[in-house]
DNA sequence: CGTTCCGTTGATCTTAGTCAAAGGGGGTGG
DNA sequence: CCACCCCCTTTGACTAAGATCAACGGAACG
């Protein structure tokens, strides 16, 4: 059964273009169904090997690693169009956990059909590799953020990135975006303590740059934020196509 | 011309097994030659799009990103078997730079043949995706290291990882390994200042845990180091196959 | 109506960064 | 062969960014 599958990577790359007849046929072959999950559901568990792979159709979540001492590193935020479970599919087990923070709608694939995809659909296999390379790119960026930037710049960079993605995905038109995370989630992503994250956030709020209330974030001064992030004004144009 | 290509991912996955007839034929098709570079050579430049992709046959190097303000984040250390240029091959440009720190021997491929690989050699395409996923895995680990660990633990984790790889690649049998990097390189990888890296290193030396002299590193107390890294004793067995 | 989770804030402490200066080597040129 | 220089390492003194600790407020929820 193929239902509406917007924002699915199998549909196209990048995730926006319309689906062709051939692609629809293809979907019939691979998609095994859709899955709706509640907030707080663990979709993938570090060290496990899920038989199912997902594409996010709707909702948000996060990927994280847990360290021996209980600390948590949020590896990335999950948004519509993201592919979940590549590691489980191609290596033998997941290296991080994935959890929903809102309710999510997922497009479900069978892990075992992945090899068939490589054999019969080289373009899609290529897309998959493209996705993996993209993921690698963003992890590298995040590593640079956490490794080299002071708190304020980290926060600005992180919020900006979330907002840009949100806009790119058509989830926000104006200055508002859904941000269903806790400050602890943000802190764990940026490598900061909750307290310091909160204080840094307050500083941004006091300066009228952002406004975060009840899971909704308002970017009141995009330029100012980009400035705090030390972002090269040209670079974001260059980077725009990479969501 | 196909010459000796040990440690090349195209040869096999993981990089150790012997090459079959079919694989030799395959190599003839894709390998365009070998390249020897001096220390300090920039192999890939962030933002550029190299027409050539490489596999490291011998020597060591590093990948890094440069931030707007001149800071540098070392993204990973490059060792034999590593594939260089996946992003250039599959996306449109490199997202980080790659530089040799010793002289290196490289196996050269043409970027344009990558698509042919996906069409005609699905197993190899699969391997390539596997490599990308592996890279993603290690970046995630490094992110957790930089984001959550204090200096000493970061250093211990980093050195341990370098040593384990070195052993896995057959480059060290005993407690010694080649470590041709500067302390600044290490600091930029761990998100620390050189000064603090140096002091932390001295502490390890004073406790007889490691000994680093003239580009050679001696792991004098592996257990002690693993302890400082808070490494789960079982985990390294699990992680061993992933180089 | 208590409990729990999250956000907020202040006080204090520690880790790691910055600044500065002094030792090596190893290479190059006089 | 020596001298100088450059790059890297090492060390100490000082500073600051951010962590930790602690306490309170509010909203959601059973």
The structure tokens 């926000």 sit at A172
Note the pLDDT tens digit of each residue in A198-242.
Answer: 999 999 999 999 999 889 999 999 999 999 999 877 665 555 445
Q: Please report where in the chains the tokens 């705090």 appear, as a residue.
A: A228
Which positions 218-237 of A are in contact with B (Cβ < 8 Å)?
A: 230-232, 235
Average pLDDT for A116-133:
89
Q: Is the pLDDT of residue B14 over 80?
A: no
pLDDT tier for residue A37 given thresholds of 50, 70 and 90: very high
Answer yes or no: is pLDDT of A13 > 60: no
CA–CA dist B184, B172 (Å, integer): 24
Pick the range with the lowest mean pLDDT from A12-26, A108-122, B86-100, B201-215: A12-26
What are the Cα distances from residue A165, in Å, to A63, A74, A93, A236, B101? 16, 17, 28, 12, 36
Check CB contact under 8 Å for A129 and B91. no
What is the secondary structure of A53-92 as a DSSP string?
A: EEEEEE--EEEEEE-TTS-EEEEEEE-TT-EE-HHHHHSS
With CB atoms and an 8 Å threshold, state whether A128 touches B126: no
Rounded Cα distance between B61 and B105, Å, is: 11
- pLDDT at A92 (0 to 100): 79
- The set of residues, in sequence order, having a beta carbon less than 8 Å from that of B38 and lying 6+ positions away, is B100, B103
Q: pLDDT (tens digit, 9 = 90+) per residue, B59-77? A: 999 999 999 999 999 999 9
Q: Please count the residue pairs, one from chain A and one from chain B, whose beta carbons lie less than 8 angstroms apart.
A: 157
Order of strands, sheet of A31-37, starting from the edge strand that comes earlier in the sequence: A31-37, A104-110, A52-58, A83-84
Contact A133 B130 (CB under 8 A): no
- Answer yes or no: is pLDDT of A11 > 50: no
pTM of the model: 0.91
Please state the rounded mean pLDDT for residues A9-14.
46
Stated in angstroms, how far is B192 CA from C26 C1'?
27
Query: Which nucleotides on strand C sit less than 7 A from a protein beta carbon?
Result: 5-11, 15-20, 26
B190 close to B142: Cβ distance less than 8 angstroms: no
CB-CB neighbours of A42 under 10 Å: 13
B119 touches A: beta carbon within 8 Å: yes
């Amino acid at each position: 059964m193929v239902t509406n599958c917007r924002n699915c990577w199998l549909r196209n790359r990048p995730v926006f273009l319309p689906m062709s007849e051939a692609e629809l046929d293809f979907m019939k072959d691979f998609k095994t169904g859709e899955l709706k999950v509640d907030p707080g559901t663990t979709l993938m568990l570090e060290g496990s090997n899920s038989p199912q792979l997902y594409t996010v159709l709707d909702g948000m979540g996060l990927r994280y690693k847990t360290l021996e001492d209980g600390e948590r590193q949020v590896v990335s935020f999950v948004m519509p169009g993201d592919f979940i479970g590549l590691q489980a599919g191609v290596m033998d087990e997941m290296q991080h956990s994935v959890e929903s923070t809102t309710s999510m709608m997922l497009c479900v694939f069978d892990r075992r059909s992945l090899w068939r995809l490589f054999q019969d659909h080289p373009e899609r296999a290529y897309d998959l590799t493209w996705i993996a390379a993209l993921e690698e790119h963003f992890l590298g960026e995040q590593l640079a953020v956490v490794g080299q930037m002071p708190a304020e710049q980290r926060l600005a960079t992180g919020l900006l990135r979330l907002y840009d993605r949100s806009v790119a995905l058509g989830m926000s038109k104006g200055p508002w975006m859904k941000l269903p995370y806790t400050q602890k989630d943000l802190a764990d992503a940026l490598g900061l303590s909750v307290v310091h994250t909160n204080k840094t956030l307050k500083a941004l709020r006091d300066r009228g740059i952002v406004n975060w209330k009840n899971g909704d974030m308002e970017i009141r001064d995009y330029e100012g934020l980009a400035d705090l992030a030390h972002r090269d004004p040209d670079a974001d144009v260059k980077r725009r196509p990479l969501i």
